[in-house]
Structure 1
Amino acid sequence: MQVCDTADSEFTEVVDGVHIAPLAVGERMNVQHFHIEPGAVVPEHSHPNEQVGFVARGTFTFLVDGEEQVVGAGDSYVVPAEEPHEAANRTDEPVRGIDVFSPPRDEPNWE
């Protein structure tokens, strides 16, 4: 069994204002912690992994297929594999939450 403490995870800034930290990694899925600063944008991208997330604090907006979806504290979401999506924190408060990817996702390449 693997146990990961969020206090031991180290955040990496993957694009301006977007920070991720790996948590538990299994053979079929992984968990990562995210922190999105006010005004930061995760640029449009897609990946072969199904993504399931939970917002613990704050609010951000997904842009999927030209439609906006606001996701806030207490909400969970699913992004199907290969679906292009973007996320932006348009508020004055940081967003914190977790994402689970299946299969496990390598480091993102959003450049």
Structure 2
Amino acid sequence: MDLVTNDLSDEVEVKPGVYLAQLAGGEEMSIQHVRMASGGHVPEHEHHHEQLGFVYQGEQTFILEDGEEVTAGPEESYWLKSHEVHAAENQGDEEMLAIDVFAPPRHSPNWLED
């Protein structure tokens, strides 16, 4: 067993108002902490990873390829299929905090360089 002690102050601002902190990562999955300020936005993207998440503060709105918007609020979880096109944003007034799990592991988002 590996125990990973994380310091969320090591988070990185990957887009204006969007902060990620990589947590534990294994051979078949990884976990990250997400903090998104009000108005924060992750651009449309897709990835080969399945993505599971849990919002524990605020709200995160996903914008899907067909324009549908789905909002996950506190104590709600979500699942994005492999290659499902999506964007995400915080449309609320409160900071959003969530945990994301990726399988296979994702150590750097593919939209980071956009």
The alpha carbon displacement at 1:92 in A equals 1.2
Matched with 1:91 is: 92
The alignment partner of 2:51 has SS state of strand
Whether the 8 Å contact between 2:31 and 2:100 is mirrored in structure 1 is yes
**TM-score, normalised on structure 2?**
0.92
CA RMSD of aligned residues (A): 1.3
2:78 aligned partner, one-letter code: Y
1: distance between equivalents of 2:39 and 2:54? Answer: 20
SS of the equivalent of 2:100 reads strand
Residues in 2 aligned to 1:4 and 1:85: alpha-carbon distance in whole angstroms: 30
Stretch moving more, 9-18 or 52-61 = 9-18
Distance 1:60 1:30 in 2: 20
State the distance in 1 between where 2:63 and 2:44 align: 8
Task: Report % sequence identity.
Answer: 45
TM-score w.r.t. the length of structure 1 is 0.94
Q: Shift in Å at residue 26 of structure 1?
A: 0.4
SS of 2:7 mapped into structure 1: helix
Match of 1:20 in 2: 20
| Alignment length (residue pairs) | 111
* Structure 2: runs of 5 or more not aligned: none
